[in-house]
A = this chain, B = another copy of it.
Amino acid sequence: MVTMGDIAIKVGVSQATVSYVLGGRAARGKVSPETRQRIVKTARDMGYQRNQFARAMVTGKSRILTILTAPDHSENQSRILAGAHEAANQNDYLLKVQHISTSFMDEATVARLLEWRPAGALMLGLEEPLQDELYAKLNAWGIFLTTVDNARQYEHSLHVTSDNESGIWQAMDHLIALGHRRIAFLGGRPNILSLDREHSFRTRLVEAGLPVVESWIRQSSWSNFEVIAENAVAILESSVGRPTAVVCASDTAAMVVLRIARAHGLRLPADLSVTGFTNSTLSAVADPPLTTIEQPFHEMGYAAAMYLVQRAESPETAEPLLSPLLLPTRLIIRESTAPIS
Contacts and interface: CB of A to CB of B under 8 A. Distances in A.
A116 B52 contact: yes
A1 interface: yes
Q: What secondary structure prevails in chain A residues at the interface with B? A: helix
13 contacts: A49-B115, A53-B117, A54-B57, A71-B81, A73-B75, A74-B78, A77-B78, A85-B97, A89-B99, A223-B281, A225-B285, A259-B285, A282-B282
A284 interface: yes
Please name the 9 residue pairs, one residue from A and one from B, whose CB atoms are nearest each other, closest first.
A49-B114, A73-B78, A53-B56, A73-B75, A71-B82, A52-B115, A53-B53, A50-B115, A85-B99
Given A53-B57, A115-B50, A117-B51, A225 B78 contact: no
B99 A96 contact: no
A259 B285 CA distance: 9
A86 interface: yes
Interface of A: 1, 49-54, 56-57, 62, 71, 73-75, 77-79, 81-82, 85-86, 89, 92, 94-99, 109, 111-112, 114-117, 223, 225, 255-256, 259, 262, 281-282, 284-285, 287
A186 to B, nearest CB: 15
A49 to B, nearest CB: 4
Given A53-B57, A75-B75, A89-B109, 7 more contacts: A1-B114, A49-B111, A49-B114, A50-B111, A85-B99, A94-B116, A256-B285
Contacts of A255: 285
Nearest to A56: B53
A71 B78 contact: yes
A320 to B, nearest CB: 26
Contacts of A52: 115-117
Nearest to A225: B285
